[in-house]
Amino acid sequence: MTGLLPHPRCDEQLQAADLWALGVLPVLAAGALAGLLGIYWDIAWHIDKGRDTFFTPPHDFLYSGLAIVLLTSLYALWRDRRKTSAHLRVGPLWLHGGIMIVSIAAGLVLAFAPLDDLWHRLFGVDITLWGPMHLIGILGLTLASFGGLVSSWLERGGTRSARRAALFGDVTLFFGAALLGWTVLVLAEYEFNVPQFPTVFHPILLGGLPSFVLVLVSRLRVRPWGATYVTAAFTIFRLAIAVWLMTASRFDLAGFSRPLIPLLVPSGITADILAKGHAPGWLAGLAAGAVTIVANLAVVRVADGIIWTSATMRATLVPALLLAALAGWAGAAVAGVLQPRRA
């Protein structure tokens, strides 16, 4: 599939340093990981400690980090004056497409933070992560990580240095892992074993949603086995968050609940193999989704928590695989848009 964007490598007007030299991508990368830690910290806090005030340590950590991400992205839009195909012309300005996504997403989350507090004051404490304001916040945070992925990918194509191209490729994989983390976050209620909705949604969403990220990363071909790297990094992220929660709880700074960590490495391997074989995106997504369900069926069975019964699996299989196929198709389509045009 040919891309809709010309490749930045062909641009000659590079009028400013790249986003790494400006210090933008390192801050955004740290913000993506800090955001995931903050959200899981916040969920554990609410489960075991309740919600006594808006200014809890997890909230302070999360929103301070988001404010830094927003200010950094606005700084990048002002400081980056290059005229490349990675930039969109808005009046007299040339704005980096990926950074625009990050700034809009971070602004969205921060704008809805006081509205979330107002919602709780008017209607009480939400008993579900799937409340309206929470979902808007998750959407914004997910888009911010996607914007980071787009930014690093475009910077990779805009450099003539093989060394810097490799650096930007690794950063792209980092943001891919963060994006995978945000994609799975919507299942935190099931991971903490406090679901407010039927169990059937757990395998459907877990089997379907990750396929978008895995197919996208495998089709970008940042490096061989890119999707596998992303799932391994995702697992390391989640283990680090678990260690933090265990450490913080000893100092009464977190709850004692621990989330289940989904097994996605076999799914990443599947996506990479099918990408090497040039399988259609929908087929790669479907296969990755099937592997996700099978692998996590074993994980759920040995965990002390939610149970996938035989009836649950019978109701799950078809919608989960359909969602996985759709997500795989979407991931391949986005990868096609980001790829350079062929002459």
Task: Give the pLDDT score at 52.
Answer: 59
Q: What is the pLDDT of residues 160-181, one digit of tens each?
A: 888 888 999 999 999 999 999 9
* Predicted TM-score of the model (pTM): 0.88
Report which of 37, 16, 43 is spatially closest to residue 191, judged by C-alpha positions.
43
Task: Give the pLDDT score at 323.
Answer: 97
Report which of 65, 66, 46, 48 is spatially closest to residue 56, judged by C-alpha positions.
46
Contact 59, 42 (CB under 8 A): yes
Task: Give the pLDDT score at 343.
Answer: 36
For 100, the token pair is 């625009």
Q: What is the rounded CA–CA span in Å between residue 85 and residue 341?
A: 12
Domain encompassing residue 90: 8-338
Task: Give the pLDDT score at 6.
Answer: 42
Task: Give the pLDDT score at 145.
Answer: 94
Task: Give the pLDDT score at 17.
Answer: 67
Q: What is the pLDDT of residues 110-148, one digit of tens each?
A: 888 777 777 666 666 666 778 777 888 889 889 999 999
**pLDDT < 50 stretches in the chain:** 1-15, 342-343
Residue 274 lies in a domain: yes
Distances in Å between the Cα of 182 and the Cα atoms of 75, 143, 147, 283 are 25, 9, 13, 23
Task: Give the pLDDT score at 45.
Answer: 82
Q: Is 254 left (phi over 0), alpha (psi -120 to 50) or beta?
A: beta
Residue 2 lies in a domain: no
Residue 132 lies in a domain: yes
Distances in Å between the Cα of 65 and the Cα atoms of 19, 60, 180, 215 are 19, 8, 19, 29
Q: What is the rounded CA–CA span in Å between residue 119 and residue 123?
A: 6
Task: Give the pLDDT score at 194.
Answer: 85
Residue 23, C-beta contacts closer than 8 angstroms, at least 6 positions apart: 72
Q: Give φ, ψ of 267 to 5 degrees.
A: -70, -40
Residue 343 lies in a domain: no
Per-residue HEC secondary structure of 97-120 comes to HHHHHHHHHHHHHHHHHHHHHHHH
> Residue 342 CA to chain centroid, in angstroms?
29
Residue 20 lies in a domain: yes
> Alpha helix (H) ranges present in 263-342?
265-276, 281-302, 310-338
For 323, the token pair is 């969602």
Number of domains in the chain: 1
Residue 1 lies in a domain: no
Task: Give the pLDDT score at 287.
Answer: 98
Residue 195 lies in a domain: yes
In the chain, the N- to C-terminal Cα span, in Å, equals 13
Residue 67 lies in a domain: yes
Q: Give φ, ψ of 53 to 5 degrees.
A: -155, 160
Residue 336, C-beta contacts closer than 8 angstroms, at least 6 positions apart: 1, 2, 3, 4, 219
| DSSP string across 244-277 | HHHHHHHTTSS-S--PPPP--HHHHHHHHHHHHT
* CA torsion, ordered 225, 226, 231, 235, to nearest 10 deg: 100
